[in-house]
Structure 1
Amino acid sequence: MNEHEEALGGPDRDHRRPDGVDDTTVEALGALSKALETTERARGRLYDFHQLTGSADLQLDKAVKLLEEAGHPEWAAKVRSEILGRNVIPGHWTFQIVEAYNATYYRPFQQLEASAVQELARGRDHLYEAEMKEERRTPGHPDHAARPPDRES
């Protein structure tokens, strides 16, 4: 970034492309970051699955109690023995699925993406997005500032 661009308020140092990093590398790191963000969304849905399934299992307590109160002890016993506390897949409750996903896929992906950014862009994250922001903003417009007010360099 030259002196004129800096005076116009370009991106802070952490979001400026280091010397020697080419367009294709920036684009590749952007694609890798986007894939990780998609994985973050998938992981969130996995936690939704975990919490919803756990909530349903806890709600079965009320169903069992009401079946007993209504004079259907055989159905209460059936729900208790057949569904309450049941594995969602053989040998697994949902917390075990979440743990396996995190250990087997999510954390290795997260670590690989961080390593790629560190090695290929000197640790500067979101370069693709930062450059897109620069291309799309209107210099001088108060709602198109290049960086937060507290980020001077």
Structure 2
Amino acid sequence: MPGRATPAGVSDATVDALGALSEALETTERARGHLYTFHQLTGEADLALGDAVAKLRTAGHDDVADRIAEDLVGRNVVPGHWTFQLVEEYDDGYWSTFREHERRAREELAGGVRHLFEARMKQDRRTHGRPGHEATPVRTD
């Protein structure tokens, strides 16, 4: 197969299994991105909340501003954690462990070659010989 050959001795079932593992990892990568989005949006909300508290004070509503500032501004999103701590724990724990298992499985079962399932799909779906359907990047140098 041009582009990315399946290593000798790697069965179709192994390619399918590694493809499923890779897909699961990709879903985890998407989840991680959403976690970072959650982290950033929560931080933006807390800063905006601080601005709202200042405006409440300017409008003469110190009692409301005090209540919100004391109870909500800078509050943990879960006990003991700001969002950066959730991100760090996810990255250092689940995400890193998941990536390591996927890498190790590829190393043991396919010589470390990535995306074998997708490479096969590309070969099946592309129109051989047609511009824009090349097996590998076209060099222009």
Which category describes the TM-score, using the shorter chain as reference length? over 0.9
CA RMSD of aligned residues (A): 0.9
Q: What SS does the aligned partner of 1:138 have?
A: coil
Moved over 4 A (4+): none
1:118 Cα offset (Å):
1.2
Q: What SS does the aligned partner of 1:74 have?
A: helix
Q: What is the match of residue 126 of structure 2?
A: 137
Q: What SS does the aligned partner of 1:142 have?
A: coil
CA distance in 2, matches of 1:123, 1:41: 22
Q: What is the match of residue 36 of structure 1?
A: 25
| CA deviations over 1:6-39 (Å, ceiling 9, x no partner) | xxxx22xxx2101100000000000000000000
Counterparts of 1:58-137 in structure 2 under 5 Å? 58-137=47-126
| CA deviations over 1:70-123 (Å, ceiling 9, x no partner) | 011111111110100001111111111111111120001011111111111111
Give the partner amino acid of 2:51.
Answer: K
Unpaired runs of at least 5, structure 2 = none
Give the partner amino acid of 1:52.
Answer: L
More relative contact order, 1 or 2 (CA 8 Å, 6+ apart): 1
CA distance in 2, matches of 1:72, 1:131: 65
Q: What is the match of residue 17 of structure 1?
A: 6
CA distance in 1, matches of 2:54, 2:121: 58
TM-score, structure 1 normalization:
0.88
CA distance in 2, matches of 1:89, 1:18: 47
Give the alignment partner of residue 27 of structure 1, picking from 12, 16, 19: 16
1:149 Cα offset (Å):
1.3
CA distance in 1, matches of 2:125, 2:30: 26
CA distance in 2, matches of 1:99, 1:74: 36
TM-score, structure 2 normalization:
0.95
CA distance in 2, matches of 1:66, 1:136: 59
